[in-house]
Amino acid sequence: MGLKIWLDGKLVDQEDAKISVFDHGLLYGDGVFEGIRIYNGHVFELDAHIRRLYESAKAIRLAIPISSEELTGAVRETVEANGLSDGYIRLVVTRGAGTLGLNPFICKRSSIFIIADKIQLYPEELYEKGMKIISATTVRNHPLAIPPQAKSLNYLNNILAKIEALDSNVPEAIMYNHEGYVAEATGDNVFIVKDGVIFVPPVEAGALPGITRNIVIKLAQKENLQVVEKNLTRFDLYVCDEFFLTGTAAEVIGIVEIDGRMIGDGRPGPITCLLRKKFFEYAHGKEK
């Protein structure tokens, strides 16, 4: 049996969940989205995701045609209709069907759809052994071009960096901003540890304000670990003691090599493992 998709106010069968070829989401990547986890039947950090979605929409002058309360209800309804207790939700708002011109204001009504499905996980081995990555040559979007804080449907910047990673036979790449500072990975935020202190690039360096990032920072502080937001260079990544990425899909994953430089002793470090464990407990320990 296929999935039930929430599309513009109704739950429909997967085969009937269709979007116009004139939708500017498809024609121009004009729209916004969220990726959200379901843990133990609980939609993880739904309020934070809904808030970020409305902020992304505001940044691109996209009016979401329903209230955040209605949208929150729609997400829960979709999860229930698909009987999921662990999984992944893709919540998408497109500009809607318009003409072949760029003008977004001709599009009468944006489309909203919600997919709730099982999640494709990275193999457990990757978490145990840690991941090897590279630095991308593709520079992160300039903040005055497409604000990296907005989670828009226009992901070509990240996709070009991802292709560089895949060409090098690794799953992820670090993206640097126009000034050469670390921005983020193609779909995850960056953390490093040096001499017991955790360093994270500020969001203004060109990162999405990751919801996992926020939680991991809080969990680290709860463990009395010092977290410093600071611009990081490629050199900082090369000589750090520990390195990990955070994101909704990847959760907390250790990095053990970048551009052929081994990190620490080549295994995920103790702070990485501690925070991965704390994140797991936090995500799974919540009430329904």
Q: Which residue numbers are catalytic?
A: 151
Phi, psi values for residue 211, rounded to 5°: -75, -35
Per CB under 6 A, the segment of 15-23, 75-83, 221-229, 246-254 that binds ligand PMP is 246-254
**DSSP reduced 3-state for 54:** helix
Per CB under 6 A, the segment of 3-11, 128-136, 209-217, 235-243 that binds ligand PMP is 209-217
- 107 versus 251: smaller Cβ distance to ligand PMP: 251
Residue type, 215: I
Would you count residue 211 as binding ligand PMP (CB under 6 A)?
yes
When binding is defined by CB under 6 A, the residue of 29, 35, 104, 202 that contacts ligand PMP is 35
Q: What secondary structure does DSSP assign to 159-211, as a single string?
A: HHHHHHHHHTT-SEEEEE-TTS-EEEESSSEEEEEETTEEEE--GGGT----H
Query: What CA–CA distance (Å, rounded) separates 224 from 226?
Result: 6
- 102 versus 159: smaller Cβ distance to ligand PMP: 159
Would you count residue 264 as binding ligand PMP (CB under 6 A)?
no
Would you count residue 154 as binding ligand PMP (CB under 6 A)?
no
N-term to C-term CA, the chain = 26
Would you count residue 23 as binding ligand PMP (CB under 6 A)?
no
CA-closest candidate to residue 88, choices 22, 187, 190: 187
CB of 125 to ligand PMP, least distance (A): 22
Would you count residue 213 as binding ligand PMP (CB under 6 A)?
yes
Phi and psi based region of residue 130 (left: phi greater than 0; alpha: psi -120 to 50; beta: remaining): left
Which residues form the interface with ligand PMP (CB under 6 A)? 35, 158, 184, 187-189, 208, 210-213, 246-248
